[in-house]
Amino acid sequence: MTIRDDHALAGDLASEAGERLLDLRARQGFGDQRALKDAGDMMSHRYLMDALQRLRPSDSVLSEEATREERMDPRRLKADRVWIVDPLDGTREFSEEGRSDWAVHVALWERTGDEGALTAGAVALPAQGRTLTTAKPPTLAAPGERIRIAVSRTRPPEFVRKLAVLAGADLVPIGSAGAKIAAVLTGEVEAYVHAGGQYEWDSAAPVAVALAAGAHASRIDGTPLVYNQEDPSLPDILVCLPDLAPMLLAGIRDLHR
């Protein structure tokens, strides 16, 4: 890895944080789930913050586990480079023995003129033994006969059930936004639909990889996902194989009429 390669850095940091989370799970066990979640969130956050401070001292960072004051730091809104990280996405699943649907997200947002874009990112799936990165985005499969839509295990939006009926699709409950988007990119499902609440860190890294792979990623009304905003709320998302986007967006539009 050269020090300037942001794609490789994102991959290395996500993978290393993931290894440390696997170690923590093995050492601490699943007896106290609350304690395991808290320890995982904090350990991974500290590792990523220290590493980014050391390796990219001029860049800003927006992390789920930062304090409210740190997240609201106005310098982030003026910065040209902002790392958007979720140290442990799918915290609930991380604390459940045997589950592999949890992830570490590391994304880089860069200013381009008046706007900005996700320019690098990585999603580590430590318990699945893989890390997806913008350095080498996965090759998308072609959609088959039947469409599978990944949804939250614990907070599936009501309209997605209706969308599945409309599209003749099966719903596949999976934890973690990163694990669901990874499932789209590796051909386990064809789409991920969510609404009702989420934040920039839940989607930035997997969306960076999805866009690099040529997948569709947008808000559920089809407008772009916009990152590094003052309010990091980004409550709904559609990620899918590109050929399915027109049909799914039209279905969602009809259901919201």
Ligand X SMILES: Nc1ncnc2c1ncn2[C@@H]1O[C@H](COP(=O)(O)O)[C@@H](OP(=O)(O)O)[C@H]1O
Q: In what order do the strands lie in the sheet with 60-63?
A: 60-63, 81-89, 103-112, 115-125, 130-133
Does 89 help bind Mg ion (rule: CB under 5 A)?
A: yes
Rg of the chain on CA atoms, in Å: 17
Does 44 help bind ligand X (rule: CB under 6 A)?
A: no
Per-residue b or e along 200-227, where b marks 16 or more CB atoms closer than 10 Å to that residue's CB: bbbbbbbbbbbbbbebbbbbbeeeebeb
Binding pattern for the stretch 60-89 against ligand X, x by CB under 6 A and - elsewhere: ----x---------------------x--x
Task: Rule CB under 6 A: choose which of 16, 65, 202, 236 binds ligand X.
Answer: 202
Task: Rule CB under 6 A: choose which of 126, 175, 232, 251 binds ligand X.
Answer: 175
| Maximum Cα interatomic distance, the chain, rounded to a whole number of Å | 51
Looking at the Cβ atoms of 8 and 203, the one nearer to ligand X is 203
Looking at the Cβ atoms of 90 and 135, the one nearer to ligand X is 90
Kindly give the pairing relationship between strand 147-152 and strand 169-174: parallel
How many residues lie near ligand X (CB under 6 A)?
A: 16
Looking at the Cβ atoms of 133 and 198, the one nearer to ligand X is 198
Does 133 help bind ligand X (rule: CB under 6 A)?
A: no
Does 206 help bind ligand X (rule: CB under 6 A)?
A: no
- Using CA atoms, how far apart are residues 241 and 189, in angstroms rounded to an integer? 9
How many residues lie near Mg ion (CB under 5 A)?
A: 3
Please name the amino acid found at residue 35: A
